[in-house]
Amino acid sequence: MESGTSRLEAFSDGVIAIIITIMVLELRAPATADLHGLLQLAPVFLSYVLSFTIAAIYWINHHQILGLARRVDARVLWTNINLLFWMSLMPLTTAWLGESGAAPLPTACYAGVATLCGGSFFLLRDAIGRQRAEDPAFQALNRQMARKNFVALAIYISATACALVAPAASLVLCALPALMYFLPTRESWEGPDR
Amino acid sequence: MESGTSRLEAFSDGVIAIIITIMVLELRAPATADLHGLLQLAPVFLSYVLSFTIAAIYWINHHQILGLARRVDARVLWTNINLLFWMSLMPLTTAWLGESGAAPLPTACYAGVATLCGGSFFLLRDAIGRQRAEDPAFQALNRQMARKNFVALAIYISATACALVAPAASLVLCALPALMYFLPTRESWEGPDR
Amino acid sequence: MESGTSRLEAFSDGVIAIIITIMVLELRAPATADLHGLLQLAPVFLSYVLSFTIAAIYWINHHQILGLARRVDARVLWTNINLLFWMSLMPLTTAWLGESGAAPLPTACYAGVATLCGGSFFLLRDAIGRQRAEDPAFQALNRQMARKNFVALAIYISATACALVAPAASLVLCALPALMYFLPTRESWEGPDR
Amino acid sequence: MESGTSRLEAFSDGVIAIIITIMVLELRAPATADLHGLLQLAPVFLSYVLSFTIAAIYWINHHQILGLARRVDARVLWTNINLLFWMSLMPLTTAWLGESGAAPLPTACYAGVATLCGGSFFLLRDAIGRQRAEDPAFQALNRQMARKNFVALAIYISATACALVAPAASLVLCALPALMYFLPTRESWEGPDR
């Protein structure tokens, strides 16, 4: 089923590449050709930078976790499509966040979608982990990844709750897992037995 | 002709990934940053969820059926392009369905395009079935898939007719084949002799 | 340089898939939920059908001709990018054709871009033909393809000239090469010595 | 880690293909169906031509440099994502450049993003160069590429500064590196030891 994995990767790559790129469509050219027009772009631009970073990190970790899958079974297939669904909402929440200038409800929706993406990644990682239940080297790695994933989820949930009272603090929280996931752990990137 | 199959798959993946993702472009950020703005998004959002699910299921089944093709002959090539054409209309009918709040004619068009996608998939499956006419194991599987495909088509046709008098019931019908196709049969996903 | 060819194919597939799919973005959901709204979509829809067909045929023939390339040299690289550039203008001319209801100048631009795509394909085919100058089987095929390509070009040039006086006749002419190219010749699809 | 490289290439191809193609979305069909409408498109069209060429050249050079990577390490991964980020801003600056008719500030932003793309490519090339520190044939080539890259960067920086006083001259400067990079050096395209 190698070809199964590679087509799943190619499809996911396509969807993630388009998600990243259509967010740029929200960056409309300023109406005036002066500094004022450029500065008005700032909140939308900053929300784009945050979302680009988060999506890029998901791509890297998705790449890494699928590289560890033994085959594409129904559970992997559907947890992967579930992840892509929630990621596909990122352009919407990013646009709302930027256009509203980080108002409470849009920020909560932004953090909420980030929470659901994190949870979906948790399920995908778990689905792949089940394929290697008897591989102790993988399980040690899997536990380590699960812990990191769990911390990120807790931060996203806090960010969602926090958004309604302090949107700026919520966005700082949203950026934390990005920093934490900045680099996949060296071991997992190489893969334990590939 | 392995490379022929893989390039056809890659192209179809690209088109389906873009179809799925541009539907999200119809999900415009709410005009106001409050709950009212968010709730106004509901009908467009629900039509997006239904279409995302249908498109994802087509992708899975497309993946599965092309994996069984022996080569890319002219019939496979054109039935595949025909399927992609009808799928490419999904963003249009999805947007109309959502924006009209499931009015009768938009719902009928939505179900009608679903019918044409189902019919196109029938033709593609049949084109691949002809390549393996003398393979009894494949033919047993092919008959089983044809039956499932036929039931889905009948439901979509009913949904199209039903839409003009009861749009809500039509949408429930449209969701049924999605549930039915939720999982490819285990045998076909693995492939009979790969 | 196999990997060179495959990455050039993958990139071209991506660009062509997106070109095909963004044309559907011009198909905006009708403003009203009745038959009147649907019928107003007709000219834009018909121009989409024509362009989808032309783009699909280019994809098939592009697939076929690149399958015959021995390697990616600078001439193949740039004639390929040149073809993609002119194809990338198809969404623009398709939208103008549909929105103007096939007025003379938009129709001439539509046929003009088709002419430039046809000419670019001619150059790409020629660049690949040079790589196999001493292969008589390929050269017989190449001459046959060049003839077909030449006829298509002559028709597109006539369509461009014709558009300014009789746009409807011009569009009929534009559809002719599509019919002619409907199927790649069986020999070339399989490839002479692959 | 071959598969790592190929998935990184595929993802980058996807992003670059979409960047190239969404720029065409800024080319809106003229409001009127006459020559006046067509001529009004000219500045947006010319900015599209320049950006398409620059993006195509980045794709070619990206293709070439990744073909020389031994593996995907964290440095290659992040310098590549950094390059894609700055390239993803090209549709925005291209639209602003075209819509403003090459006013000073939009031209400076256009040249500024080109500078950042050039600098990002420098970092990516350097990250791959580190993987082959003990390969003298590669290092000779690497030095030659670094020199070309450095000249391009210097021109882009001049273009950015120049834009505020003479936007037309700035655009001529922006086109120079494109000409210079028109063809990858023959040696590097083939790759030294592949």
3-state secondary structure string, chain D?
CHHHHHHHHHHHHHHHHHHHHHHHHHCCCCCCCCHHHHHHCHHHHHHHHHHHHHHHHHHHHHHHHHCCCCCCCHHHHHHHHHHHHHHHCHHHHHHHHHHCCCCHHHHHHHHHHHHHHHHHHHHHHHHHHHCCCCCHHHHHHHHHHHHHHHHHHHHHHHHHHHHCCCHHHHHHHHHHHHHHCCCCCHHHHHCCCC
Say yes or no to pLDDT of B187 above 50.
Answer: no
More confident residue, A151 or A135: A151
Q: Report the distance separating Cα D128 and Cα D143, nearest Å.
A: 12
Say yes or no to pLDDT of D165 above 90.
Answer: yes
pLDDT for residue D4: 61
A25 inside 8 A of chain B by CB:
yes
**Mean pLDDT on B30-50:** 89
Residue C136: count of CB within 10 angstroms of its CB: 9
**Mean pLDDT on A16-39:** 86
Provide the chain A residues 3-22 that lie in CB contact (below 8 A) with chain D.
Answer: 9-10, 13-14, 16-18, 20-22
**Mean pLDDT on D88-116:** 93
**Residue B27: phi, psi to the nearest 5?**
-80, 80
Does B30 sit within 8 Å of A96, measured CB to CB? yes
User: B38-77 burial string, b = 16+ CB within 10 Å, else e?
Assistant: beebeebbebbebbbbbbbbbbbbbbbbbbbbeebbeebb
**Mean pLDDT on A23-29:** 84
Which ipTM was obtained for this model?
Answer: 0.85
Q: What percent of chain A has pLDDT over 70?
A: 91
Q: Report the distance separating Cα B106 and Cα B93, nearest Å.
A: 7
More confident residue, C187 or C31: C31
Tell me the two tokens of residue D45.
Answer: 């069209």
pLDDT tens column, C89-144 = 999 999 999 989 889 999 999 999 999 999 999 999 999 888 888 888 888 878 88
pLDDT tens column, C136-170 = 888 887 888 888 889 999 999 999 999 999 999 99
Residue of A nearest to B190 (CA): A1
A29 inside 8 A of chain D by CB:
yes
Mean residue pLDDT of chain B comes to 85
C103 inside 8 A of chain D by CB:
yes
**Mean pLDDT on D175-191:** 63
The nearest CA of chain C is from the CA of B144 a distance in Å of 31
Say yes or no to pLDDT of D189 above 70.
Answer: no
In chain A, what is the straight-line distance between the N-terminal and C-terminal CA atoms, in Å?
A: 16
Among A174-183, B88-97, C45-54, D1-10, the least confident range: D1-10
Tell me which residue in C14, C27, C56 faces B14 most closely, judged by beta carbons. Answer: C14
Tell me which residue in B18, B38, B52 faces A85 most closely, judged by beta carbons. Answer: B52
**Mean pLDDT on D107-136:** 91
pLDDT for residue D146: 86
pLDDT band of residue B183 (cuts 50, 70, 90) is: low
Mean residue pLDDT of chain D comes to 85
Say yes or no to pLDDT of A194 above 50.
Answer: no
pLDDT tens column, D68-89 = 887 888 888 889 999 999 999 9
Tell me the two tokens of residue A125.
Answer: 């990682």
Amino acid identity, residue B112? G
The nearest CA of chain D is from the CA of C34 a distance in Å of 26
pLDDT for residue C156: 95
Amino acid identity, residue A54? I
Residues of D in contact with A24 (CB under 8 A): 19, 22, 88-89, 91-92
Does D105 sit within 8 Å of A34, measured CB to CB? yes
pLDDT for residue B4: 61
pLDDT tens column, A82-110 = 999 999 999 999 999 998 988 999 999 99
pLDDT for residue D110: 95
Tell me which residue in B88, B96, B106 faces C24 most closely, judged by beta carbons. Answer: B88
**Mean pLDDT on C159-187:** 83
pLDDT for residue C70: 79
pLDDT for residue A188: 42
Provide the residue ranges of all domains of chain C, joining segments of one domain with +: 2-190
The nearest CA of chain D is from the CA of C115 a distance in Å of 18
Yes or no: say if A147 and A181 are a contact pair by the CB < 8 Å rule.
no
Residues of B in contact with A14 (CB under 8 A): 13-14, 17-18
Residue D143: count of CB within 10 angstroms of its CB: 11
Q: Report the distance separating Cα C9 and Cα C15, nearest Å.
A: 10
Does A59 sit within 8 Å of D11, measured CB to CB? yes
Residue of C nearest to D54 (CA): C81
Yes or no: say if C150 and C135 are a contact pair by the CB < 8 Å rule.
no
The pTM (predicted TM-score) of the whole model is 0.87
pLDDT tens column, B130-152 = 888 888 888 887 888 888 889 99
By the 10 Å C-beta count (0-12 exposed, 13-18 middle, 19+ buried), A25 is classed as: middle
**Mean pLDDT on A64-78:** 83
More confident residue, B108 or C65: B108
CA D111 to chain centre: 11
Provide the chain D residues 158-187 that lie in CB contact (below 8 A) with chain A.
Answer: none
